[in-house]
Amino acid sequence: MSGPRPPRVLWVSTSTQTQGGIATCVRTLAATGLWERWGVRHVATHRDGSKGDKALAFASGLARYTATMLLRRPDLVHIHMSSAGSFVRKAAMAWLAYLLGVPVVLHVHSGRFHLFHDRAPAPLRRFIAATLTRADVVIALGELMRTRLAAIAPDAHLTSLPNPVRISPVTTRPAGAAPHVVFLGRIWDKKGAFALIEAWAKESGGTGGHLTMAGDGEHERARALARELGVADSVTVHEWLSTDQVAELLASADVLALPSENEGQPMVVLEAMSRGLAVLATEVGGIPELVTDGVEGLLVPPHDAGALADALGELLGNEPRRRALGEAGAARARAEFAADAVAARIESLYHEVLARNGHPARGGRAGR
């Protein structure tokens, strides 16, 4: 006599071919074999491109999601969401699952989610709280986000889970090589991109170092600022790079700089740590849960140009310090954020949720 059938799990997120942290997180978890172990079907509701491209992607994804929910009724839905429009779209999909009695795991990625909630009109705030509360589990990226979500929805079933990182070989650069600093992310004020160029102009003289910036955003403004400050020869500004190109860039670097004004739990910080880079970042959002100041990197207050320049100067001028921070970061990434360990925790959540809903799961690894 056959046992219970394996569960059917449906994932909803941006396309794995898009840019950004959520897509990187989804790709990283999928690469652990989690999708194969659980027979996951993936519905993409967003892709890069024009507004029309994005609208078409959501319409297509919503149609696929609705058809799957009605015709193939999954046993569990795992929805990755950000804030603002992403939340509204994904919340509508979550409520269809709620109405059909399908368990839902919400995975909140936005470090600005609490600001989105606080600035929303009262009816939307109530809707946000109800959506979180109704979910079987809400995954928050770190304890700070979990605390913030608990303030929004005190009765929600919240758990804290770090972003995953694929552990990569640490590339040791030749002793005495000129320092290479990289910035990966949107090139705009909120990521501190222009403040970083100003700090570079102040501190990089005589080091022979190079700053490489890559991402979408205000490329020409960044190049113009570098020319104005006389550092155009030591600052390179790229469009967004492919996954392989990012890996090559990180392998050539000594320091990741991310002086943002707000963050969740940036995937790029974890990727840099796993490759042995020292991290220079702001003490915002979930970053202090990844990097301890003076241990795996240097943390500075947001919008503090002087502190940013001083920390950059310290890293540029002290190779042993850079190496020690990078080695500590690589060790912590392996110990706390390895993708296989994060995937195992997600699978444990699946077992718990399915058991509560009367489905003795046969998929994945055994619950822990």
CATH number at residue 288: 3.40.50.2000
Same-domain check for residues 98 and 57: yes
316 found inside a domain: yes
pLDDT number for residue 6: 76
- In the chain (368 residues long), the average pLDDT of successive 10-residue segments reads 74 94 96 96 95 95 98 97 97 98 98 96 99 99 97 99 93 91 97 98 96 97 98 96 93 98 94 97 97 99 98 98 98 97 97 90 56
Same-domain check for residues 26 and 138: yes
Same-domain check for residues 212 and 136: no
DSSP result, 326-367: HHHHHHHHHHH-BHHHHHHHHHHHHHHHHHHTT----SSSPP
Same-domain check for residues 218 and 99: no
d(CA 343, CA 265): 17
367 found inside a domain: no
**How many domains does the chain contain in total?**
2
Instruction: Give the CA diameter of the chain.
Output: 76
175 found inside a domain: no
Six-digit token pair at 291?
């990097």
Same-domain check for residues 28 and 151: yes
4 found inside a domain: no
pLDDT number for residue 105: 99
pLDDT number for residue 46: 95
pLDDT number for residue 13: 98
pLDDT number for residue 4: 64
Same-domain check for residues 18 and 143: yes
d(CA 191, CA 55): 26
pLDDT number for residue 360: 66
Same-domain check for residues 114 and 129: yes
Residue 45 belongs to domain spanning: 9-164+339-356
How much is the pTM?
0.91
Six-digit token pair at 210?
């190079």
Same-domain check for residues 135 and 233: no
Same-domain check for residues 25 and 136: yes
Same-domain check for residues 218 and 327: yes
